[in-house]
Every structure is written in structure tokens, then in C-alpha cells.
A = this chain, B = another copy of it.
Amino acid sequence: MIAWLQMGWGDLGVFGEPSKETPNLDRMAAEGMLFPNFYSANPLCSPSRAALLTGRLPIRNGFYSTNGHARNAYTPQQIVGGIPKEEILIPEMLKKAGYVSKIIGKWHLGHRPQFLPLQHGFDEWFGAPNCHFGPYSSKEETPNIPVYNNSEMVGRYYEDFMINRKTGESNLTQLYLEEALGYIRRQAASHQRFFMYWAIDSTHAPVYASEKFIGKSQRGRYGDAVMEIDHSVGLILKELQTQGISENTFVFFTSDNGAALMSGPLQAGSNGPFLCGKETTFEGGMREPAIAWWPGHIKAGQVSYQLGSVMDLFTTSLSLAGLQPPTDRELDGLDLTHVLLENRIIERPIFYYRGNEMMAVRMGLYKAHYWTWSNSWEEFKKGIDFCPGQSIPVVTSHTQEEHTQQPIIFHLGRDLGEKYPISVSSAEYQAVLKQISPAVEKHRKELVPGMPQLNMCDLAVMNWAPAGCEKLGKCLKGPETNPWKCEWPH
């Protein structure tokens, strides 16, 4: 079971959030294994989610764009592409071992019919294909995002599934919680193996929380959403125990990208001591809170220093289910079974990608930046800031800075904030580079990029008439097809 959302590394009490308002997640960590060095595969949602479910970097599974250099791309309503059929997702594999699978919440791997979860191995789905942006009016010529139950829509955000943009109130997390508890109960009752992917989105702007959590945290609206998620995680773990299946259920909690600092203090969380946030390849953008929980198997109260990746959840899930990973393709995820059960360490590099560019790589405690960029001057002058209050010369630059001949290297143990480049003339720098360079060269040489899926946009592909819209009288008429190359400003 994977719980998965947008949250910063520093948003959990156990990772130093001062209000300590995540008692259930903190207890989950105390009863399981904490990963302080766990990474997303990309600093934003769609590519990171595609990577989790395929065990492969977005550059391989197609969740990137070549419309510009090092540009973040995702799946807004006008995106033409989505997850390719050829990719193998966790639920497709687990089916072979007799598992059923459900996704609850945001999909984000493409919203056209061929890309939806039930076409890619999931047996059930309750949630939406895109972000809960809106409300859109007919004047804006944009449909509100549909909410699906399995293969048919059951309504739309802001129409049938309300989010009060003024107060931030919405009961969606409660709906997603009930879906999760119900699914667990049903599978337990029928002794059915299951994979549940709980991909809630209340901490993503527009941030929302249920009535009983609104105003309850010390952290404003974002904190209210975090409290509700924490509360929900507590109830889910308790349900596993009540059903007597906690010792048979591997649970992993993590996030798809760092806190979105550009959303300001009401709609964004904390990346703790790390640099910048979502959209960047600094630690604040890609290091994620991560907790593994499996009573009776994972010893309580452990910390793993393993460099982990969301892609490891693919390979590890297969391993726990007794399956071999596919051999006809490159996989980036590792099998963490021995890390989880014996607290071993597997040496491996972490590659930090932004769009089509490998920006940085981490090995051990060292991180080498080959490219650095926050965002463009043009966007920055509009007030979009991925690193508010932070400024490291050359590093958090608004022009893309190339360092491929002489990477900027940081020691992440003694320099959490990526502030102190190691002198290129030092013996330490030379020794690190000597270790990192071969891994980078090998990666670059062997990499066969997948066909980019996030290049084309078209208003005609928006959620005008999703399956099931007729029954609800919710079909809309979109414009004629008129594709263009999507612009990705970040």
C-alpha cells in the first residue's frame, strides 16, 4: 500500500516541523523505518507519479518534454499524451501474483480514455485524472475536472465535488479516506491480496481541508490539510490492525515532490533545512519524507540512510509479491527488501532530472550539480519564485547555468542547504569527481530516452465529455482539434 501526496520533507514532526502536528505519521515512523534520504524522480507531480508506477525515470517512460531544455512538464487538461501502453505499471505486474489494485485520488498520467488507470492494470479507481484546479466557468471555455468511479465519471470538481476556494473547505479527503477504509475491509473480508495507491491531493494548491480540521493547525490552511492527512493515515493503519492484516501489509508513505514554495505561506509547506522547493532539482524540490511500516517484519524505530527513490517502490513491491521484475527494459528502481528487513545499505547514485536534462547526481553524501536553474528571469519578474528568501550565487540562478565541465559539488551531510560549494582545487573535490564521473558517463552513455509524451497540447482533448457524462447530463462540447507545441515555462 502506498500513500502518496505533495508534501515537503520538513512537514512532518519527525522531520522537524515545529508544530509537531503529525502524531500519527510520527508514530508510523516510530513503529517502522524512517528514510531521511529518499527522493522523487522529478521535482513535480506527473513525471514523479509515472516513475513510481513504472520504476523508471521519466526520461525513459516518456513523461518529459523536448520542447525546451530542462523544462518541467506535466499533464494539464490540454495535454495530448499520457502513459504509454508499453510501460508496465505496478498493478499490471501484481495481477500476475493474484493481486487486485485500486487507486484513490489523483492519477495524473494522462486523462484521455486510453491513459486512464483501468487501462493500465488498476481494477478500481475513485478520484480525478488531473489536479483539482478551478472552478472554471463556461466563459473560460475550460471544463471542470471530472471525478471518476472506476471507468465512468461521477461528477466534476466545484460542481458535484465542492471545494470552497475562499474558506478552503472540502470533504474530499474524508471521501478518499472512506474509500480507503472500505477497500481495505472488503479485501480483508475476502482474504484478497491487494495493492492500494492512496494518492490524495489536499496539500496541493488549491489547498483544502474538511470542516472539522479548518483552523485547527498552527500552520494555516496548509497545516489543516496536513493534520487531516495525518489523522487519515492513523485511521488507515488502525483499520489494517483491526482487520488483522497489518502484519501482511507493507505500507509506504512518501511524496511526489517538495513543498511548492511559490504558492506562499498559506498553500505551501516546509522543506525543512533544504534549498528551494517544487520544480527545482535542489534538495527542497526532490528530497521527500518517507516512512515504511510493516509490523512484525520491519523492526520498529529504525532509521535507514539508504539513498532511496520512489522508483524503488516498483521493484520492491514486485519483490515482496514474489515476482521477478521485467527484463526487457531498463529499470531505475532497486529492490529495497534487504534495506527494509535488515537495514542494509545498497550503494547507488540518485539522478536529479528536470525535463530532458540530468541536472545533478548524488552519490553517498556528495551531490554534483551539472546544471543549475531556479526559473527564468521572465517568470521570476512575474513574481514566480521557487526559492523565496534564498539566494546562492550561480546556484539558484534565473538563467540556466551549465557546469558540465566542472560540476558544483556540495557535501549534503555538513551542508544541508547546498550553500558551500567544495573548492574545485581541493583534494576532496577531485576525489569526489573521480567517483561520480564514471557513474554519470555510464548513465549518459546507456540511456535510451523514451518517446516524449508531454510535447503536444490541444484544447480539444480537455475533459469535455468523459465516459459516463451522458448519464449525468455533464457532457460538454469542446473545440475542434488544433494541436500546438506546449509551452513549459519552468
Contacts and interface: CB of A to CB of B under 8 A. Distances in A.
B20 A16 contact: no
A432 B14 CA distance: 30
Contacts of A275: 389
Given A220-B411, A392-B389, A273 B16 contact: yes
Interface string A252-270: 0000000000001110001
A308 B255 CA distance: 33
Interface string A394-426: 000000000000000001011111011000000
A210 B10 CA distance: 32
A374 interface: no
Q: What is the total number of copies of this protein in its complex? A: 2
B413 A223 contact: yes
A99 interface: no
Interface residues of A, number: 42
A273 to B, nearest CB: 5
B20 A265 contact: no
A19 B273 contact: no
Nearest to A268: B414
A18 interface: yes
A388 interface: yes
Contacts of A390: 389-391
Contacts of A34: 20
Contacts of A19: 36, 305, 413
Contact of A419 (B14, B15, B265, B415): B265
Contacts of A416: 10, 18, 270
A264 B365 contact: no
A335 interface: no
A204 interface: no
Nearest to A218: B413
A271 B10 CA distance: 13
A56 interface: no
A217 interface: yes
A20 B305 CA distance: 9
B413 A389 contact: no
Given A16-B10, A389-B392, A217 B264 contact: no
A420 B265 contact: yes
A303 B14 CA distance: 12
Contacts of A352: none
A157 interface: no
Interface of A: 10, 13-20, 34, 36-37, 217-220, 222-223, 264-266, 270-273, 275, 303, 305, 365, 388-392, 411, 413-417, 419-420
Please provide the 5 A-B residue pairs with the shortest distance between their CB atoms, ordered closest to farther.
A16-B16, A220-B414, A218-B413, A18-B36, A389-B419
10 contacts: A14-B16, A18-B37, A18-B416, A19-B36, A218-B305, A220-B414, A265-B415, A388-B420, A389-B391, A389-B417
